[in-house]
Structure 1
Amino acid sequence: MQSRLGRGGEAPARAAVLDECVTPISRPHRDDVLIAVGGLLSGLVLWAVGLHTQGGRSLPGAWVLLPLVGTAALELLRRTAPQPALALGACLLVLDQFTRGSLATVVMFTDLVYAAVVYGTPAAARRIPVTTGIVTVGMTIGFYAWFQQPEALLIGVVTGLITFAPATTGALVRHHRDAADSARLRAEQTALLAEMDRSQAVVAERARMARELHDMVANHLSAIAIHSTAALSLDDPATTRQALSVIRENSVDGLAEMRRLIGLLRDTGGRDEPTAAPTLSGLDALVAQARTNGADSGLGFTLDDRRAGTGPLPAPVELAAYRIVQESLTNALKHATPGTVEVALSRVDGLLAVCVTSPHGDRPGPRAPGSGAGIIGMRERTELLDGTFTAGPVTAPDGSRMWRVEAQLPAEERNLRT
């Protein structure tokens, strides 16, 4: 069985080896075919009418067709193998000098020189113009020294026209093509960078909107969830009425906050409609609202603001500090055990310190679910201002467990990240 399998797999294996070893031959470009056919037909017409570039050579008659046909065939390789085509074309040009000569062969050779510079390797594109220039100068000096006649300089001129001129022309064309490719690449890179900047700006704006939406609405919705749960679980008309009052108050406030956010997002059609951003001067009202929302849960709220006489704060810092306190109070309403939630602010050494501590542990009664987005939003707000943020459980001096949120924000404009 093994021998059968071996014989059966022999052909595919051989085919695989042949596929790896045989390099596919590139087909000539259509323009190269037209150039080759045109050059060959032109040479045949010149030979038929008896028009040659020289006479009295050792290979008369049809020998002129050998370099003509060979050079025309090399034109098919001017893009796919430009350097070998140039080397063989130079040999055929030398052979052409021993015949009566054909102008078509000379013209096609100049095209091979041009193509070798344009389509060849970068090293060849640098080397060929220098080499042809040296050959032109050498031919001029050599024939002038040999013939000792001014007419010998014409040989150098013809040599330059056949070799150096097409080489320099090809170098100029290649330089312009490379410059165009570089410009196109730079334009594509610029467009890519612009698209990346746009995408990053969209992501950053969506993150900012998410933070604003969460910070503005989560507080009110958390209070609504807690009090609606209490109203449904307790069969007490007074408690239900009080819970419905808190629910209505938070619904109205939440609706006002949503309208403010919509006002920020709506296109005003060129009208600058200022929208007041919350500042730290509104902390008293914020804490008072939290005190009302958390009364049924056994939570008390205190505010210790020690910033008196320290000067104004940058607007981004005031907004970030307000949102951090607001989110911390929301988290306390959802998760804190009965006790006192303390909010403390101070300004020392160019930094605004915001600290919110709340009782931490197993909480009885209704509670609202959390997603963790609040902690992420507070951390992002702090990092955007190049501040520091920490949040987690700590042990108070009396041994009780507390949850502490602490942020250090730069309190001066020059310290803000630009």
Structure 2
Amino acid sequence: MPIFTNPFLDRSVKQKHSGSPKTLQPTELIPPALSRVGRGASTDASRRPSVATISSINSNPDTTQHNHLYVPRRPSAWGRMSEYVARRNSTPHVQTASSPLQEWHHWVADNRKRTSTGDHPIIDESRMAALTRKYGEICEVSGLGTDSIILVSHKYQYCPPLDNYYALKVLRRPPADQSSPSDSDHHQKRVTAEFALASTLNHKHIVRTYELLPLGPGNNPDLSCISMEYCAGGDLHSLIASSATHKLPAEQADCLFKQLLRGLTYLHGPGGVAHRALAPENLLLTNKGCLKIADLGHATCFRVPGPGEDPVVIISKGKKKCGSSSPYISPEQDTDSSSGELDDPRSVDIWAAAVIYLAMRTGRNLWEEASEERDAGFARFVEERRDGKNNEVIEGISTDLSRDILYSMLSIDPAARPTAAEVLSSAWVEGVDCCIPAAAVE
């Protein structure tokens, strides 16, 4: 069985994209740009975008939109890093005096000075030293938000031979909550819960999580670090944006879609996990082309029902709606009753996976928000489906095998959507040539 040329092998670990993307010809109803919502983070205000490069693909050069990273002003080095990222994202051609990596070193040096002068330090020097001994020296800042920073470390040693990169997600309690012990407990529980869930997952299409390490002095839980697998290929949004046509060929999109379904089938299986915040920014890539699902901060755990039980038994409850206005959020998250959880959180991931596939194939989103009242593009899609009509965009990218699958995944009724295992075993997806064999070990 032929396997298409792997598009990721030539992607450098430190690949940078510059210049403005080419524009697409405007249509009668222009679909919204494929705007970045943040790598490894949802659009929820409590989880700010944490990526160092925000780019967008625009359909109309006269209506260019930039996704600005909101950052409150703070005099600390962490704040200076945030301001640097915000300036670089909004004006990518403006040269700035320092980089996020330099500001990180300034922050560490400032903390060391505070320790030597008897002031209350933010970070424990011995714990930071132990972190770098285990995972190597910090070589890059790949993501940054108000409450977290993603560091890349490089561990090299001659004997025994080792040459590995790691992603270190440093989380801190939001500054506004510093005076509240209850908020500190909530922050610690949230971080611990995210790590406890992620560390139990073992699948080649899920980012591996290694350990949770405290970084604050003493028993201070306000600063901690989660060590994870580093994915050198960047995220799916960056791959789409860097493509010559700002969209992926069918064979590449199908390959990545199949890998996503493999990961979702594992999550939705006996482990009973629904991601609930899938977006191209949360799908990372290795330099071999292996797609990995990241960021389980909004995940919901459930139990497959037994005889006579409800359709799904929710074990851990989270916010009903994950994120803000986003095309990847399913419409029932707006219309569900405010008293409880979704009937089956897995259907949310199926909706998001279909929208992600459309984004890969078209470089755009058909709507900004899955709401008939607030988005004309989505209202038109719903009207077409109610009248038994087909969508022009979906018709243009689908085949006889894929068309019905995509429409069923985008069913307004969540109960009518297929499971990830059903889509994976469909004639369409089973026939996809994938660059990562199912039996391969990444």
Q: Which protein has the bigger helix share?
A: 1
Whichever of the two has the greater Rg, that structure is: 1
Shorter-normalised TM range: under 0.3
TM-score (normalizing by structure 1): 0.24
